[in-house]
Structure 1
Amino acid sequence: MGLTAMDLLTVEEWPVAHDHGLTVSCGDVAAGTIEDGLNETKNHAGIIEAFERHIPHAARVAVPNVICFFGNRRGMENGVGIENSIRCLEACAPIAESEEVTILVEVLNSKPGGHVDYIGDRMDYALEVIRAVDSPRVKILYDIYHMQIMEGDIIRTLTDASPWIGHYHTGGVPGRAEIDDTQELNYPPIVQAIADTGFEGFMAHEFIPRSGDALRSLREAVELCAI
């Protein structure tokens, strides 16, 4: 099939991927959750501790990226969430830089059926945070599925934001199903646009197969995105 990596595995799962010759493209080290993330100062100590504990291990076993989240809004204004997120990531950046592991913060859709109340649901929000932190080891996980739902304008957005994007997720819109011609996104030119930015990281397929043959759906997605 040509796949070289698996995404979003927990620390306990990393050896399974490695035993099968696969890279862990992005590790989940329990640095907060989608709901309880960077925007709340009460979460900062736990996030920082998780990264300080697990990033050195990630470096030793060649896990290039680890994930965290902006968190749910709970009535918070954007400016407060942005400042709090900057403060936490600035505290985390030195360990990521010293170990050459990248911290990724994911943008997600906050519409019904998505992650309702998620504060990091727009690229301008994420970019304000990541640009302010200004670390080569703190970047955005750009989820194409989620951002199509929130904003559209995928190719222009990822092209303009490419210096601050460290990872990509796919998914068909609507429904987060296969990325084939049953949905609205045209993935080959999107993938070409990503390649044209000089991106050399990972694109992870995160769709939920509906065809009844998950392996065939995955194989077709790999072929569709091959350039």
Structure 2
Amino acid sequence: MNERRSAIKTILAGAATLTTLSMTQTCAASTTSKEQLSALKGNINHSVCRWCFNDMSLDELCKVGKGLGLKAIDLVGPKEWDVLEKYDLDSSMCNGAEISLTEGWNTVAYHERLIDNYADMIPRVAKAGYKNLICFSGNRRGMDDETGLKNCVTGIKKVLSLAEKHGVVLVMELLNSKLNHKDYQCDRTAWGAELAQALHSENFKLLYDIYHMQVNEGDVIQNIRDYHPFIAHYHTAGVPGRHEIDETQELYYPAIMKAIKETGFKGYVAQEFIPSQPDKIASLRKAIQICDI
């Protein structure tokens, strides 16, 4: 996705202390595989977002991820699915059908293109053995919530039967409109849940981004408890700053993960923080350990 790629490139260019992962680091991370895997409790299915580690090749990220106990990589499109297959990793959130974060299902003018994109991608996701395919509401552009919701229902219904046929779940991401994605419409859990209720299908759910929802509305644990039937996937990051989920930020992730586990959730939790420390793999390892309740 263009916004994500642009953001990480800008941050990496301006951070002189961050360097590309060397092969030595990759090999060192891989040697921890048995120790890390045996230490994981198995209550959380761990993933990581590809774009947060764009300075590494997907091969390197897969090697490191396997060593740390990851089961999947998030936000990988069809052109790189063969790399995931090589490492026996799931594509926990597929992308490639969306136009952009700002041009989404809430705008009728985009429906024809989106319908074509998703009609093409849904069978491809299913054929590859994957399940989740991301989508976005798009920006409001002066549109009220009721109209945006109605437009989303109208458009998504035109591809929902195909998703049901192929066992693919269309997953709309909740993003904050306060700081990172000004004007984005699906910016509150209640609005997303209302959309899911209107569509009334197990093949449409929400991506609850913990960072974004803490920024926009807070009350993370209670909202997870209240709206978990509509949630198919989770993203993490620290608040403020979208960096590591350690003691430098305000959220206590062990309690959040415990709340997720208590809902009976069996999907993926994907790390989507932007590493601020020189040893980015150590940051990822620590994040997995923090979330492994």
Scaled by the length of structure 1, the TM-score of the pair is 0.97
Instruction: Output aligned runs, 1:180-199, within 5 Å.
Output: 180-199=246-265
Q: Distance in 1 between matches of 2:81 and 2:71?
A: 14
* Structure-1 residue corresponding to 2:213: 147
Q: Could you say which structure has the larger radius of gyration?
A: 2
Report how far residue 20 of structure 1 moved: 1.8
Report how far residue 29 of structure 1 moved: 2.2
Report how far residue 91 of structure 1 moved: 1.4
| Matched-pair identity in % | 44
- Greater shift in the superposed pair: 132-141 or 53-62: 53-62
SS in 1 for 2:196: helix
- Structure with bigger helix share is 2
Q: Distance in 2 between matches of 1:163 and 1:90?
A: 19
* Structure-2 residue corresponding to 1:205: 271
Contact 2:176–2:212 under 8 Å retained in 1: yes
RMSD, matched Cα: 0.9
Q: Distance in 2 between matches of 1:182 and 1:33?
A: 32
Report how far residue 162 of structure 1 moved: 0.7
Report how far residue 31 of structure 1 moved: 2.3
Instruction: Output aligned runs, 1:1-227, within 5 Å.
Output: 1-112=68-179, 114-227=180-293
Q: Which structure carries more relative contact order (alpha carbon 8 Å, separation 6+)?
A: 2
Q: Distance in 2 between matches of 1:9 and 1:167?
A: 15
Q: Distance in 2 between matches of 1:92 and 1:195?
A: 31
> Aligned partner of 2:287: which letter?
A
Scaled by the length of structure 2, the TM-score of the pair is 0.76
> Aligned partner of 2:238: which letter?
G
| Cα deviations by residue, 1:182-225 (Å, 9 ceiling, x for unpaired) | 00000001001101101100111000000111100000011111
Q: Distance in 1 between matches of 2:279 and 2:178?
A: 29
Q: Distance in 2 between matches of 1:92 and 1:224?
A: 38
Moved over 3 A (4+): none
Contact 1:31–1:48 under 8 Å retained in 2: no
SS in 2 for 1:161: helix
Q: Distance in 2 between matches of 1:130 and 1:174?
A: 29
SS in 2 for 1:135: coil
Report how far residue 49 of structure 1 moved: 1.3
| Cα deviations by residue, 1:97-153 (Å, 9 ceiling, x for unpaired) | 1111110000100123x0111111111211111110010010000000000001110
Unmatched tracts of structure 2, length 5 or more: 1-67
Report how far residue 11 of structure 1 moved: 1.6
Contact 1:31–1:46 under 8 Å retained in 2: no
